[in-house]
Amino acid sequence: MSCPKNRLYEAYYGLYKLRGDCTCQLIDDCDGMDITLKQIEYLKLIDNCEDMTFSQLVKLTHNSKPTVTEMVNKCIKSSCLYKEKSEYDGRVSYLHLTDKGKKLARSEQIALLKTVDKIMNALNDDELDMLSSLLEKVGKR
């Protein structure tokens, strides 16, 4: 029998890998292989704001206008993002996520939910209660 630390490492690594596999599958399903992690971070920022403007994105990212322009254009080219002119001020455009952009922006949460579903399908109710109790105990530390 292996030592407790190695068993815990292997068990945790298995969960970590399962979550990573779920994330990769989700990105593959979105045809998101041309998307970088930095672009996903931009998509997350836009997803968290109702009507994000280019200027707001520049401020939030602490990047230069040319850098943000390049990133926004790549996201538009990848069909993750689109611009919509303000009906009140034609000089202002809002950045909105496409369905693909929303899936990529929310990929971590979706992958986590898929991981939880797989765990729930693998364990019975007593095992789920025990695992939940143990994870809650560890999470409070």
What's the average model confidence in pLDDT over 83-110? 91
How high is the pLDDT of residue 50?
Answer: 86
**What CA–CA distance (Å, rounded) separates 15 from 18?**
5
Residue type for position 12: Y
Tell me the pLDDT tens digit for each residue of 97-111: 999 999 999 988 888
Number of domains the chain contains: 1
The CATH code of the domain that includes 85 is 1.10.10.10
Q: Where are the alpha helices (DSSP H) in the chain?
A: 4-29, 37-47, 54-61, 65-77, 99-105, 107-122, 125-139
Residue keyed to tokens 């990573």: 20
Phi, psi for 97 (deg, rounded to 5): -85, 145
Residue 22's pLDDT is 81
3-state secondary structure of 84: strand
Rounded CA separation 94/84 (Å): 5
Residue 23: what pLDDT?
82
| % of the chain residues with pLDDT over 90 | 53
Quote the tokens at residue 42: 């931009």
Q: Give residue 32's pLDDT.
A: 63
The model's confidence at residue 75, banded by pLDDT at 50, 70 and 90, is: very high
- Residue 92: which domain range? 4-139
What does the alpha-carbon distance between residue 1 and residue 105 come to, in Å, rounded to a whole number? Answer: 42
What confidence tens digit (pLDDT) does each residue in 12-48 have?
Answer: 898 888 888 888 887 777 776 678 888 999 999 999 9
Which DSSP letter does residue 74 get? Answer: H
